[in-house]
Amino acid sequence: MLTTLKLTPAIDASTAQFLSQHYVISASASWQLDCVDGVFHLQHTEHPALNLAIDFGTGKYRHRNHYLGKEPLVNAIKIKGKLPQALLDATPGLLQDSFMLAGRGVQITAIERHPLLYVMVNRALARISAQTNEQHHTQTPPHIDYRFGDANTLVKDFATPCIYLDPMYPPRQKKALVKKSMQVLHATVGDDADSDTLLINAQKNNARIIVKRPSYAPPLANCPPDLTYQSKTTRFDIYLPQNS
């Protein structure tokens, strides 16, 4: 997990101050955060191919938000054929799934505990909002209440009809190519070693819980789900409210 970080002069003072509360800021750190055209870029100083940038107006984010085709997650979270009005994303990561759901009208609250991910995603959300306002788009960007904090301590008492968990996937026995973005996340954020505890805490909340898992992995905390929605390579384990 990342403990030291290099910041270029392009990083604004408020971001630098926030990050300095969580990391040792050092010119000799292996990972560098830069800002190019308003987008935060994270890059390994010795292996430039290991890099990550988050921009909601391009690539997969834009495609998933505008393409209204079949999304396995959309089908998995529906309650009686309808999307929930609101959802708590307790493991937002790059925010890909929540951004897509918000684009379909779901009110999202996302709680991110990793400071570096938080500032990168927060900047991307502010940027897409500013771009939308400048271009006078008729469709405003998805509303997401994005917060910094530890969902493990908040999830059991948060008022919401649905809770979404998408912890880091466990390693496969067979070696396979891992997406570059996931390589960067594993190197800088680490594994979600407490994901079992997160599910247990979430079950104290009277909410529907959806857990995204790879097909090869067992359920979190070895807790059998009430329902399962299976896509090609992904499984969604669904836990119904205990008081339903």
CB atoms within 10 A of CB 24: 10
- Strand-pairing partners, residue 228, are 237
What are the DSSP calls for 31-73, one per residue? Answer: EEEEEETTEEEEEESS-TTSEEE--TTSHHHHHHHH--S--HH
The CA-atom distances, in angstroms, between 15 and each of 7, 67, 99 are 10, 33, 23
Distance CA 213, CA 168 (A): 9
User: Has 46 been labeled as part of a binding site?
Assistant: no
Taking a C-beta distance cutoff of 8 angstroms, is the pair 238, 165 a contact?
no
User: Has 34 been labeled as part of a binding site?
Assistant: no
User: Has 112 been labeled as part of a binding site?
Assistant: yes
The annotated binding site for S-adenosyl-L-methionine is made up of 112-113, 166
Q: Output the known binding site.
A: 112-113, 166
